Amino acid sequence: MTEKPYEYLLLRHRQIPELDNLEIYRQNGGFEAFEKAVKTMQPAQVTEFVKASGLRGRGGAGFPTGLKWAFIDNNNWPHYVTANADESEPGTFKDREIMERNPYQFLEGVALCAYAIQAHHAYIYLRGEFWQIAARLDQHIAALHAAGLLGEKLFGSDYSLQIHTHLGAGAYICGEETAMLESMEGKLGQPRLRPPFPPSFGLYGKPTVVNNVETLTNVPLIIAHGPEWYRTIGTEKSPGPKIFCLSGRVVRPGNYELPLGTTFRELIYEHGGGILEGRPIKAIMAAGASSSLIIANDQALDTPMDYENVPSVGGSLGSASVIVLDDTVSIPWLINKTIHFFKHESCGKCTPCREGTYWMQHLTERVAYGHASQQDVALLYDVASQMRGKCLCALGEFSIEAVISGIDRFRPDFDQTVQAPPVT
> Rounded to the nearest 5 degrees, what angle is found at the Cα of 160, between the Cα atoms of 158 and 161?
160
Taken in order 36, 52, 119, 164, the sign of the CA dihedral is negative
Give 26-41 as a DSSP string: HHTTTTHHHHHHHHH-
Q: With binding defined as CB under 8 A, does residue 345 bind other proteins? A: yes
Q: Which of 154, 294, 379, 393 binds ligand SF4 (CB under 6 A)?
A: 393
Question: Which letter does DSSP use for residue 371 in this model?
Answer: -
Question: Which letter does DSSP use for residue 192 in this model?
Answer: P
Q: How far is the CB of 354 from ligand SF4 (least distance, A)?
A: 5
> Rounded to the nearest 5 degrees, what angle is found at the Cα of 95, between the Cα atoms of 31 and 296?
135
Q: With binding defined as CB under 8 A, does residue 89 bind other proteins? A: yes
Please enumerate in sequence order all residues whose Cβ is within 8 A of that of 247, keeping only pairs 6 or more positions apart, or say none. 91, 93, 253, 321, 322, 323, 324
Question: Residue 18's binding partner, choosing from ligand SF4, other proteins, ligand FMN, none, with beta-carbon cut-off 5 to 8 A by kind?
Answer: none
Question: Residue 346's binding partner, choosing from other proteins, ligand FMN, ligand SF4, none, with beta-carbon cut-off 5 to 8 A by kind?
Answer: ligand SF4
Contact 275, 281 (CB under 8 A): yes
Distances in Å between the Cα of 234 and the Cα atoms of 241, 258, 288 are: 6, 8, 22
**Binding-site size, ligand FMN (CB under 6 A):** 22
| Candidates 13-21, 31-39, 124-132, 312-320; binding stretch for other proteins (CB under 8 A) | 124-132
Q: With binding defined as CB under 8 A, does residue 93 bind other proteins? A: yes
> Rounded to the nearest 5 degrees, what angle is found at the Cα of 395, between the Cα atoms of 285 and 348?
145
Q: With binding defined as CB under 6 A, does residue 395 bind ligand SF4? A: yes
Question: Residue 318's binding partner, choosing from ligand FMN, ligand SF4, other proteins, none, with beta-carbon cut-off 5 to 8 A by kind?
Answer: none
For the chain, give the longest Cα–Cα distance: 75
Tell me whether residue 33 or residue 339 sits nearer to other proteins (CB atom): 339
Question: Residue 266's binding partner, choosing from other proteins, ligand FMN, ligand SF4, none, with beta-carbon cut-off 5 to 8 A by kind?
Answer: none
Q: With binding defined as CB under 8 A, does residue 289 bind other proteins? A: yes
Q: With binding defined as CB under 6 A, does residue 321 bind ligand FMN? A: no
Q: Which of 47, 165, 190, 211 binds ligand FMN (CB under 6 A)?
A: 211
Tell me whether residue 343 or residue 366 sits nearer to ligand FMN (CB atom): 343
Q: Which of 198, 207, 315, 396 binds ligand SF4 (CB under 6 A)?
A: 396
Q: Which of 102, 165, 183, 215 binds ligand FMN (CB under 6 A)?
A: 215
Q: Write phi, then psi, for 14 (nearest 5 degrees).
A: -70, -20
Q: Which of 229, 348, 375, 415 binds ligand SF4 (CB under 6 A)?
A: 348
Residues 4-63 close enough to bind other proteins by CB under 8 A: none
C-alpha 406/C-alpha 4 separation (Å) is 41
Q: How far is the CB of 181 from ligand FMN (least distance, A)?
A: 10
80-85, strands of its sheet edge to edge: 162-167, 121-126, 80-85, 208-212
Give 73-126 as a DSSP string: -TTS---EEEEEE---STT--HHHHHHHHSHHHHHHHHHHHHHHHT-SEEEEEE
| Candidates 18-26, 227-235, 291-299, 391-399; binding stretch for ligand SF4 (CB under 6 A) | 391-399
Q: With binding defined as CB under 8 A, does residue 401 bind other proteins? A: no
Distances in Å between the Cα of 226 and the Cα atoms of 30, 151, 221 are: 15, 26, 8
Q: Which of 32, 73, 129, 270 binds other proteins (CB under 8 A)?
A: 129
Q: With binding defined as CB under 6 A, does residue 199 bind ligand FMN? A: no
C-alpha 383/C-alpha 46 separation (Å) is 47
Helices (H), 267-316: 298-301
Q: With binding defined as CB under 6 A, does residue 178 bind ligand SF4? A: no
Question: Residue 58's binding partner, choosing from other proteins, ligand FMN, ligand SF4, none, with beta-carbon cut-off 5 to 8 A by kind?
Answer: ligand FMN
Question: Where do contacts with ligand SF4 occur on this chain (CB under 6 A)?
Answer: 173, 190-191, 346-350, 353-354, 391-393, 395-396
Question: Where do contacts with ligand FMN occur on this chain (CB under 6 A)?
Answer: 57-61, 63, 84, 86-89, 173, 175-177, 210-212, 215, 393-395
